[in-house]
């Protein structure tokens, strides 16, 4: 399993449109083979910062996700919302559960 954490900072005036389009890409993505979870959270302290937190069965499943029509469309429309973004792919060898 791998985990993806995508941190997005968006333009404040585009928040409503961003959330609407994010709901659409999430609805499509959670149906993909190999997608274990795919969710969006927002920061309490930074109202225009969002985190996509994704769990994928494998790196191959994540790579297939990058080629889907809904993700290509998301990339196109979300470009107008973004101030900045950072995407991290975590390949855990061991996860300690407390």
**Tens digit of each residue's pLDDT, the chain (98 residues):** 999 999 999 999 999 999 999 999 999 999 999 999 999 999 999 999 999 999 999 999 999 999 999 999 999 999 999 999 999 999 877 766 66
Helix (H, G, I), strand (E, B) or coil at 26: helix
What is the pLDDT at residue 92? 79
Sequence-ordered list of residues with C-beta below 8 angstroms from that of 13, at least 6 positions apart, any chain: none
- Residue written as tokens 């889907």? 68
22 φ, ψ to 5°?
A: -65, -40
What is the pLDDT at residue 93? 77
The DSSP output letter for 93 is: S
Alpha-carbon distance of 71 to 67, in angstroms, equals 7
Q: Which CATH class is domain 2-90?
A: alpha beta
The DSSP output letter for 79 is: T
């Amino acid at each position: 399993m791998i985990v993806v954490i995508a941190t997005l900072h968006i333009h404040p005036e585009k928040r409503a449109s961003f959330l609407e389009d994010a709901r659409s890409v999430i609805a499509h993505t959670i149906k993909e083979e190999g997608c274990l979870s795919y969710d969006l959270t927002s920061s309490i302290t930074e109202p225009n910062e969002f985190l996509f937190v994704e769990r994928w069965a494998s790196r191959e499943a994540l790579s297939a996700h990058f080629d889907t029509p809904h993700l290509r469309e998301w990339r196109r429309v979300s470009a107008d919302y973004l101030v900045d973004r950072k995407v991290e792919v975590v390949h855990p060898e061991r996860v300690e559960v407390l």
